[in-house]
């Protein structure tokens, strides 16, 4: 049976046009069934612009949707039939295997928490992944909203990252490291120092601490930091890459063929910001598959998130996460929580 | 009267050869008097290799010095006549205006704390500066060992940064921002959220919060973060720059003239790691001028640190810091400390 993806047809800067187009592309490329959630007439109008022959695309009607700038939790209370809420509930009810939205991230997170909840023992979703083209086998967790973390949260990130690296990247025994300001145990801030002994007895393939220098070189497969640090690093790298691409554009224009120059500047963007190239990714540790697409995603990017959602469903990452969590916790005991 | 710089002749990976050479270069280029601290015969032997005519270079003898890998505070207790200790005491006694060492940073910091102390009201030295060639007018504080900071420390960093930007960079009214994960007040971790109101009433030119994205674009002159975040960012950027330079080397070799290629790869290193190009910098908030040179500094880099030390002394940055601290604290009251 084909994977069924609920798509928030009204979420994103380029909704509904690019979202519906991307959904059609994803359905075609990855053989997914699509449930578009949005106003019936709008969705139908967009669908009519594309060749949907042989595809399985349904529409679930709703008139409401979130807009950027609203407080997500508050807006969701007012708009009980917001497209992201309706789409997420389709996963809860089993009518869809995954939900994808390019709408406000806070709304995707709030809907996921409200209707799907987190895996037992993890209180908040985790965001992370491989973010540098230089090191496709290095992923960082958390990049999202988990700030001021406790050691047990770091351990959760590490477990999520390990499962991600195993199942999504095919790495057999992923190495895990704590991001810090020196390699030796004892160097770092409080949460790093407290996490070290916990990681050491976790049964994870813990290789100790790495430094900022080791991020682009991919010294570990899974690098653990709080979402404050992770978010700043990801955005810093992205910004640096864009400045460098611009510098090279100016410096090399006319000196090498335009196609070569484009190859180089494109690679600079990709190397420093692979996350963008993927168009988005899943919220980890949610008890179901909920994916955030970039707000400014165009059709091609949105389609790539459909591919990711499909992989996460097919590989049963959620089930693997639950099993790994249970196993690691049985090893180190529950007294840390 | 010429500035007198005490140089730890035995500190650094390339000591004593490159250090003494750099001291001679600095003396010549910047008209500084030098006091070399180290074994008399070793210092004399190195000096004999250079033209020192017309220069004012003295030697203060000591047989002891720190080596990499020792615990700095412990080593300093055992080696009371370690070259870094003797050199720092020359500043304390007024025999030198500044001390520079490429030896273990921990030893420079411990000596500075022990013999010079910090400016009243600041408990630990602050490390920071402009670290990206892209944005020479943006400096970040702290990049050093101040982790798990309190809001009053962030304010100290901001005051230090403001004075630095005014006096060293010539910026009249430097903008100050808190590094966070969103521009709006309330977004960020605990120390950022608690610092915001303090900054708002500080009288500093506080422009709010900036994100990782805003670091390379230089959205503020002084960007405040704790030393954990700062250290990771600086090293991450440096590492990224080196990988990019290597990529461009491979990609462009033979396609453009070698000299053009070198210009580009050199700029990539500089753009992502301007701190290295300066060879080191002062420990801020020390009650005196103590400068850390990079451990691997060669003569040219060491000489540049002499230039920096000279500027810090001549512009009386330490005096300015004390005055600004007192003024800002009188504005916001002392109840926060």
Give the alpha-carbon dihedral of B297, B303, B307, B310, to 10 degrees: 100
Strand A175-179 with A98-101, pairing: unpaired
* Range A128-274 has CATH code 3.30.450.90: no
Instruction: Identify all chain A residues contacting B236, using CB atoms and an 8 Å cutoff.
Output: 212-213, 215-216, 233, 236-237
Instruction: Identify all chain A residues contacting B256, using CB atoms and an 8 Å cutoff.
Output: 252, 255-256
- In this chain, the answer to whether the domains covering B4-120+283-315 and B128-274 adopt an identical fold is yes
Segments in chain B forming alpha helices (H): 17-30, 40-47, 72-78, 83-92, 105-111, 151-169, 190-200, 227-252, 258-272, 274-278, 299-314, 317-332
B252 to chain A: nearest residue by CA?
A: A256
Tell me if B79 sits within 8 A of B66, measured CB to CB. yes
Quickly list DSSP for B293-327. Answer: EPTT--HHHHHHHHHHHHHHHHTTHHHHHHHHHHH
pLDDT > 90? residue A10: yes
Instruction: Provide the pLDDT confidence category of residue A336 given band limits of 50, 70 and 90.
Output: low
Instruction: Identify all chain A residues contacting B132, using CB atoms and an 8 Å cutoff.
Output: 240
pLDDT > 80? residue A285: yes
Q: ipTM value of the model?
A: 0.90
Residue B82, SS3 per DSSP: strand
**pTM as predicted:** 0.90
Using one digit for the tens of pLDDT, what is the confidence trace for A163-209? 989 988 899 999 999 999 988 888 899 999 999 999 998 889 999 99
Per the CB < 8 Å rule, is B247 touching A212?
no
Q: How far is CA A92 from the centre of its chain?
A: 19
Instruction: Identify all chain A residues contacting B229, using CB atoms and an 8 Å cutoff.
Output: 228-229, 232
Tell me if A225 sits within 8 A of A199, measured CB to CB. no
Quickly list DSSP for A186-227. Answer: T-S-HHHHHHHHHHHTSSSEEEEEE-GGGTTTTSSSEEE--H
Instruction: Provide the pLDDT confidence category of residue B335 given band limits of 50, 70 and 90.
Output: low
Give residue A145's pLDDT.
74
Q: What is the CA radius of gyration of chain A?
A: 21
Per the CB < 8 Å rule, is B232 touching A252?
no
Q: In the predicted model, what is the mean pLDDT of residues B216-245?
A: 95
Instruction: Identify all chain B residues contacting A271, using CB atoms and an 8 Å cutoff.
Output: 243-244, 247
Give residue B336's pLDDT.
57
In chain B, domain spans: 4-120+283-315, 128-274
Using one digit for the tens of pLDDT, what is the confidence trace for A203-246? 899 999 999 999 999 999 999 999 999 999 999 999 999 999 99
Using one digit for the tens of pLDDT, what is the confidence trace for B98-112? 999 999 888 999 999
Per the CB < 8 Å rule, is A236 touching B234?
no
Per the CB < 8 Å rule, is A189 touching B226?
yes
Q: What angle do CA A189, A190, A194 make, to 5 degrees?
A: 120
Using one digit for the tens of pLDDT, what is the confidence trace for B127-159? 888 889 899 899 999 987 789 999 999 999 999
pLDDT > 70? residue B23: yes
Check if A272 contacts B (Cβ < 8 Å): yes
Tell me if B132 sits within 8 A of B237, measured CB to CB. yes
Check if A228 contacts B (Cβ < 8 Å): yes
* Closest-CA distance of chain A to residue B212, Å: 4
Q: In the predicted model, what is the mean pLDDT of residues A143-160?
A: 90
* Range B4-120+283-315 has CATH code 3.40.718.10: yes
Q: What is the CATH number of domain A4-122+283-315?
A: 3.40.718.10
């Amino acid at each position: 049976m084909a994977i069924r993806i609920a798509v928030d047809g009204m979420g994103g800067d380029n909704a509904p046009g690019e979202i519906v187009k991307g959904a059609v592309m994803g359905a075609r490329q990855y053989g997914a069934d699509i449930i578009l959630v949005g106003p019936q007439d709008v969705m139908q109008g967009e669908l009519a612009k594309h060749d949907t022959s042989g595809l399985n695309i349904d529409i679930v009607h709703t008139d409401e949707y979130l807009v950027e700038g609203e407080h997500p939790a508050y807006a969701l209370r007012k708009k009980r039939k917001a497209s992201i809420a309706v789409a997420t509930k389709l996963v809860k009810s089993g009518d869809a295997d995954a939900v994808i939205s390019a709408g406000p991230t806070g709304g995707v997170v709030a809907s996921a928490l409200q209707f799907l909840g987190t895996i037992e023992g993890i209180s908040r979703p985790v965001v992370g992944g491989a973010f540098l083209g230089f090191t496709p086998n290095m992923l960082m967790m958390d990049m999202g909203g988990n700030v001021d973390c406790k050691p047990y949260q770091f351990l959760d990130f590490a477990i999520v990252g390990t499962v991600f690296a195993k199942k999504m990247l095919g790495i057999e025994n992923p190495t895990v490291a704590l991001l810090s300001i020196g390699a030796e145990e004892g160097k770092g801030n409080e949460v790093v120092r407290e996490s070290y002994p916990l990681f050491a007895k976790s049964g994870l393939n813990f290789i100790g601490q790495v430094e900022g220098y080791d991020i682009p070189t991919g010294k570990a497969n899974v690098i653990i930091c709080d979402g404050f640090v992770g978010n700043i690093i990801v955005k810093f790298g992205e910004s640096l890459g864009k400045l460098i691409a611009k510098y090279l554009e100016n410096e090399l224009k006319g000196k090498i063929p335009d196609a070569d120059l484009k190859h180089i500047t494109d690679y600079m963007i990709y190397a420093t910001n692979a996350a963008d190239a993927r168009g988005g990714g899943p919220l980890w540790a949610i008890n179901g598959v909920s994916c955030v697409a970039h707000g400014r995603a165009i059709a091609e990017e949105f389609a790539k998130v459909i591919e990711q959602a499909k992989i996460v469903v097919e590989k049963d990452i959620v089930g693997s996460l639950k099993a790994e969590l249970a196993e690691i916790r049985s090893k180190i005991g529950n007294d840390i929580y």
